[in-house]
Amino acid sequence: MDEIPVDLALLKSFSPLDGLKAENLHALARKTQVRSLDAGRVLFKEGDTDKRTFYLVSGKIEYRAGERVVGNVAARTPEARTALVPGLPRKFTARALTDVEYIMIDSDLLDVLLTWDQTGQYEVSELSAGSLGDEGDWMTTLLQTKAFHRIPPANIQAIFMRMQRIQYRAGDVVIKQGTEGDYFYVVIAGKCTVTRETPLNKEGIKLAELGPGDSFGEEALIAEAKRNATVVMASDGTLMRLGKQDFQTLLNEPLLQWVDREQAGEIIAKGGKWLDVRLPSEFQNFRIDDAINIPLYFIRLKLNALDKNVHYVVCCDTGRRSSAAAYILCERGFDAYVLRGGLSGGEAARPS
């Protein structure tokens, strides 16, 4: 399937994209391509729930309900100015009657951009114009993460306006393991290396390499603990940082979903799972039956072992470590809940 860049004039031929401010339209264009589909192929099926918005650029599409043809739409007609079969789940199957070209947009991203325009308080150009150049694309990257879809638009505006832009040189230490947490960081240019010192390896074990759009530093802020890793610039680069208090009130608090024991039980009864983020020694001594144990310091490395179709109730002794883990999970598209008060005062766990 071929993909070519989309131009602004094409985006402005569709509704409601034609109402977007120029800065937001540019941000959308950087994340959108014109795609092709052969005649006879299906664009999407009846019942689909993927959050994607489709617009027809060329050719003709047929709509079907089951085996019955219920209509069609041709490109460059008034009907084609709006999205194809909006609303979820899809009411119809869309099949190409001819070779077609179309664009597909992340629906949540489009909704955020439209909301910004209608609140009228925030302009992408205030951060991305001039000195940032192409680096402004980090904002669009962040907005496509599931975490930002759960944050009120007013908070998103405040987050971007309160972030500070900091230049670094290769070799600069951004955060040092064992120090107090003070900022949340987003990489907008360059690369960072994340390492953790252990009793057996004082030089530090390399955990990850971060690039534009990646973020770090939230765990110490949420858990009110020491930094658990060192982050060093692997190249010259630019980071945006958000202070601890702003992070807590604007980003962390709206994102976390707290539940009591009764609510947690209902989630588990519907197929959810307990995720215990304490140390293995703590887990062995006192735990919830059938809980999964992934210590907080391993959570980023073990994401592939978790299922995004499962709702997780994250727990620890007090809720401090579990809130940090739940933030990381939510940021990466998981449905995670935090057990309020943790295990220390409850009946959910048992001695082993």
Q: How far is CA 231 from CA 86, 106, 206, 289, in A?
A: 44, 32, 10, 36
Mean pLDDT of the chain, nearest integer: 84
Out of 51-55, 116-120, 310-314, least confident range: 116-120
pLDDT of residue 274: 97
pLDDT at 324 over 60: yes
Delimit the CATH 2.60.120.10 region(s) of the chain.
Answer: 3-106, 121-252
Question: Once rounded to an integer, what is the mean pLDDT over residues 260-277?
Answer: 95
The sheet with strand 100-106 has its strands ordered as 3-5, 33-37, 100-106, 52-58
Q: Which CATH architecture has domain 3-106?
A: Sandwich (2.60)
Q: Name the range with the highest mean pLDDT among 28-42, 112-126, 276-290.
A: 28-42
Delimit the CATH 3.40.250.10 region(s) of the chain.
Answer: 256-351
pLDDT at 250 over 60: yes
The sheet with strand 68-74 has its strands ordered as 42-44, 93-96, 60-65, 68-74
Out of 28-32, 199-203, 266-270, least confident range: 199-203
| CB proximity list for 208: less than 8 A, separation 6 or greater | 193, 194, 300
Question: Once rounded to an integer, what is the mean pLDDT over residues 218-229?
Answer: 84
pLDDT of residue 144: 64
Describe the crossing of helices 22-29 and 107-119 by its angle, rounded to 10 degrees.
Answer: 170
pLDDT of residue 161: 81
How much of the chain, in percent, has pLDDT values that exceed 70?
A: 87
Q: How far is CA 185 from CA 137, 139, 229, 247, 283, in A?
A: 16, 13, 14, 10, 31
CATH code assigned to 256-351: 3.40.250.10
Task: Decide the pairing of beta strands 311-315 and 273-276.
Answer: parallel
b/e map 37-55, b = 16+ CB within 10 Å: beeeeebbebeeeeeebbb
CATH class of 121-252: mainly beta
Q: Are 232 and 192 in contact (CB under 8 A)?
A: yes
Regarding pTM above 0.75, the answer is no
- Provide φ and ψ at 155, rounded to 5°: -65, -40
pLDDT of residue 99: 97
Q: Are 43 and 61 in contact (CB under 8 A)?
A: yes
Separation between Cα atoms, residue 87 and residue 29, nearest integer Å:
23
